[in-house]
Amino acid sequence: MAAAESSTGDLPLREKPVILSESPEVVMAQSALFSPEESSFPFFSLLEKANQAAVEADLPRLLERILQLSLELCPSRAAAFYLLDPVSGELVCRAVHGEALRPDLIGKNLVAASAIEQALQQDRLGEIEPVDQVAWWGAADVHGFKPGKAFVAPFTLAGQPLGVMVLFDCTQPRPEHLQFLIRRMASEVYKAGQLALSRQRSERLDAMIAIFGQIGSTLDRDQILRMMVEFARQVINAEACSLFLVDEETGDMVLHLASNVDREIQPVGLRVPAGKGIIGDVVQKGEVVLVSDAKRDRRHYEGVDHSTGFLTQSILAVPLRSRQVVLGGERGIIKEKVIGGFEAMNKIDGFFTAEDTQLLVNLANQAATVLQISSLYTDATNLFFDVVGALTESIDAKDPYTEGHSRRVCDFSVEIARQMGLDAEVVHCIRIGSLLHDVGKIGIPDYILTKPGHLTEQEYEIMKQHPAIGARIMSQVRLLHEELPAMAEHHERLDGAGYPKGLSGEAISLAGRIVAVADVFDALTSDRPYRRALPVEEALDYLGHRVEREFDRQCVDALVQAYLRGVIRTQKERELLG
Ligand SMILES: [Fe+2]
Ligand SMILES: [Fe+2]
């Protein structure tokens, strides 16, 4: 091993390690360093105590016992154990013991690391010069604990550094005893570390299985994404997690969902300008970014911290990639693009690990898939409604007096259904069925549809076929079978005097009864070539006098209630209010 003095010449004075020994053998020869009481702590006693401590498989408790044993061996004011984080290369506090050293140091990185890291890399015990408070503890509160000197005892296994134990103001360092203890315990520390890692992986796997079970229980896009953000924060053990989506028009990143440890809701909708911040970098380059000290990273956009009051220290950010089918000229080509980013901030117990990164990347892929499916579903639904809307409008438009009729009957039917407290799925079915209720008029000659006066008996018989025609046409659309009764039965009457089938009472579907009320209410409150629109009160009176005979009482009552709540507007009211 090279002489330590020559390798420390360029370090700042306060960080210079004063190496006490080059190896335990050399230490043995440097008798001035040893206490005359050395022999009072026999090695066999140390071995016995070390063996007792070694049965502890839990990493924090094992480190605690090593610290206790070391303090017993080498009286000191306090001691701390730092383990090397394999991803960040930082030394992270994992156990403390003794005067004033607070457990909240656990998870914090060692600020005065360079001299200690050097001792660790060179695998040699030694004392380092006193360093100032901030250099030791950073911003952590240690109740004014100011150590003088620190004795550093590196732990390595097969040449690989594991971590360091630091004894503060040690009055009796026993390097050879410590070295003996380290040799006995290094493999135990490694094994306990591996066990902790394995437990963490197992817990994460269980959590993943649980979250994917939950995700499968809903189709609500934002509910799924919220579960993912909350899950990521808990499993990664971060103070906060956020999901940003790119605004396609401006390129800004918009905070879509956030979860933080205090369950405070961060201002969703907050915008980060295009290309700004670490999230902007992630979106632009499509790469994972890991920042252990955000303040020192020039990409960090403080606008978010200012708006949220959140103090970002470390960030793990991954892109959200979505594959999209490009329509048009390049039909069928799948194009991948970054649609946002997923961020975890402020790891609570140390640094973001490679496993945290992998987990967040996996969740980001899942989230992107959810967004993609949701977007396809929205597009398909919009397309469907547009087509149905265009179809019904074209039928209504044949007669200027029925323009907008299907849309209004749809609106009224939906409000009646809601007022009756029907399930969302039933309401959806009634929405489509009522919009299409008169689609069968497509098979009725125009001269009948647009005849300004009363129809002859023969013309009326033809007109009465439109419910059956509509149901027959739409029966060819497999996804619309639930909606057929609204088309087929909206002119049936409870007393059986309706058409086309003359169904009565409960034989008429609920959808048919609802649309019947909505249909007549719109006809009465709209202008017709042969009469002016009736006032709402008269129209409701008309319906009220025909309950049980023509119309379902519950449906008429629901219409009245909905009208009184102001959620129903007749043709005349729409014309007046715009
Ligand atoms: Fe009709
Ligand atoms: Fe109608």
pLDDT band at 418 (very low <50, low <70, confident <90, very high): very high
Ligand 1 centroid to residue 552 C-alpha, Å: 17
Ligand 2 centroid to residue 380 C-alpha, Å: 27
Averaged pLDDT for residues 200-216: 80
Averaging pLDDT over each range in 94-103, 293-302, 498-507, which range is the top one?
498-507
Rounded CA separation 506/18 (Å): 95
What distance, in Å, lies between the first and last C-alpha atoms of the chain? 88
Ligand 1 centroid to residue 381 C-alpha, Å: 25
pLDDT of 212 higher than 90: no
Rounded CA separation 253/394 (Å): 41
Ligand 1 centroid to residue 170 C-alpha, Å: 95
Ligand 2 centroid to residue 490 C-alpha, Å: 8
pLDDT of 263 higher than 70: no
pLDDT of 116 higher than 80: no
Averaged pLDDT for residues 444-469: 91
Residues 6+ apart with CB under 8 A from 347: 107, 236, 237, 238, 314, 316, 356
Averaged pLDDT for residues 329-349: 78
Ligand 2 centroid to residue 243 C-alpha, Å: 46
Ligand 1 centroid to residue 422 C-alpha, Å: 23
Ligand 1 centroid to residue 521 C-alpha, Å: 12
Ligand 1 centroid to residue 466 C-alpha, Å: 7
- The residue that leads in pLDDT, 323 or 110, is 323
Q: What is the pLDDT of residue 102?
A: 66
Ligand 1 centroid to residue 507 C-alpha, Å: 18
Ligand 1 centroid to residue 467 C-alpha, Å: 6
- 265 touches 285 (CB < 8 A): no
- What tens digit of pLDDT does each residue of 457-491 get? 999 999 999 999 999 999 998 888 999 999 999 99
Domains of the chain, residue spans: 4-200, 222-377, 397-577
Ligand 1 centroid to residue 461 C-alpha, Å: 13
- The residue that leads in pLDDT, 364 or 118, is 364
Q: Return phi, psi of residue 359, to 5°.
A: -65, -45
Ligand 1 centroid to residue 307 C-alpha, Å: 56
- The candidate with the shortest Cα–Cα distance to 483, out of 512, 513, 448, is 512
pLDDT of 289 higher than 80: yes
Tokens standing for residue 481: 């079978």
Percent of the chain whose pLDDT exceeds 70: 84
Q: What is the pLDDT of residue 31?
A: 33
Ligand number nearest CA of 465 is: 1
Ligand 2 centroid to residue 407 C-alpha, Å: 10
Q: What is the pLDDT of residue 24?
A: 37
Q: What is the pLDDT of residue 78?
A: 86
Averaged pLDDT for residues 40-44: 72
Averaged pLDDT for residues 29-40: 42
Averaged pLDDT for residues 148-167: 88
Ligand 2 centroid to residue 577 C-alpha, Å: 23
DSSP, collapsed to helix, strand or coil, labels residue 264 as coil
Superfamily of domain 397-577: Hypothetical protein af1432 (1.10.3210.10)
DSSP 534: P
Residues near ion ligand 2 (CB < 5 Å) are: 438, 519
Rounded CA separation 170/464 (Å): 102
Q: What is the pLDDT of residue 337?
A: 84
Ligand number nearest CA of 518 is: 2
Over the chain, what is the mean pLDDT? 82
Fold category of 4-200 in CATH: Beta-Lactamase (3.30.450)
Ligand 1 centroid to residue 576 C-alpha, Å: 26
Integer CA distances (angstroms), 497 to 501, 517, 555, in order: 9, 15, 18
Ligand 2 centroid to residue 521 C-alpha, Å: 10
pLDDT band at 203 (very low <50, low <70, confident <90, very high): confident
Q: How far is CA 359 from the centre of its chain?
A: 13
- What tens digit of pLDDT does each residue of 515-566 get? 999 999 999 999 887 788 999 999 999 999 999 999 999 999 999 999 999 9
pLDDT of 43 higher than 50: yes
Integer CA distances (angstroms), 171 to 24, 127, 167, 347, in order: 19, 11, 10, 36
Tokens standing for residue 5: 């003095």
What are the residue ranges of helices labelled H in 397-465? 405-419, 424-435, 446-449, 457-463
Averaged pLDDT for residues 257-283: 78
Q: What is the pLDDT of residue 548?
A: 94
Cα torsion angle, 504, 509, 511, 514, sign: positive
Q: What is the pLDDT of residue 454?
A: 84
Residue appearing with tokens 């380092």: 128
Q: What is the pLDDT of residue 260?
A: 75
Q: What is the pLDDT of residue 524?
A: 96
pLDDT of 21 higher than 60: no
Q: What is the pLDDT of residue 134?
A: 54
Averaged pLDDT for residues 77-86: 86
Ligand 1 centroid to residue 236 C-alpha, Å: 59
- The candidate with the shortest Cα–Cα distance to 197, out of 328, 93, 86, is 86
Rounded CA separation 540/516 (Å): 13
Q: What is the pLDDT of residue 191?
A: 95
Q: What is the pLDDT of residue 154?
A: 92
Ligand 1 centroid to residue 406 C-alpha, Å: 9
DSSP, collapsed to helix, strand or coil, labels residue 496 as coil
Percent of the chain whose pLDDT exceeds 90: 37
Ligand 2 centroid to residue 438 C-alpha, Å: 5
Q: What is the pLDDT of residue 363?
A: 85
pLDDT of 35 higher than 50: no
Rounded CA separation 576/271 (Å): 39
Confirm or reject CATH 3.40.50.720 for domain 222-377, answering yes or no: no
Ligand 2 centroid to residue 436 C-alpha, Å: 9
- What tens digit of pLDDT does each residue of 520-530 get? 999 999 988 77
Averaged pLDDT for residues 342-368: 86
Domains 4-200 and 222-377 share a fold: yes
Ligand number nearest CA of 498 is: 1
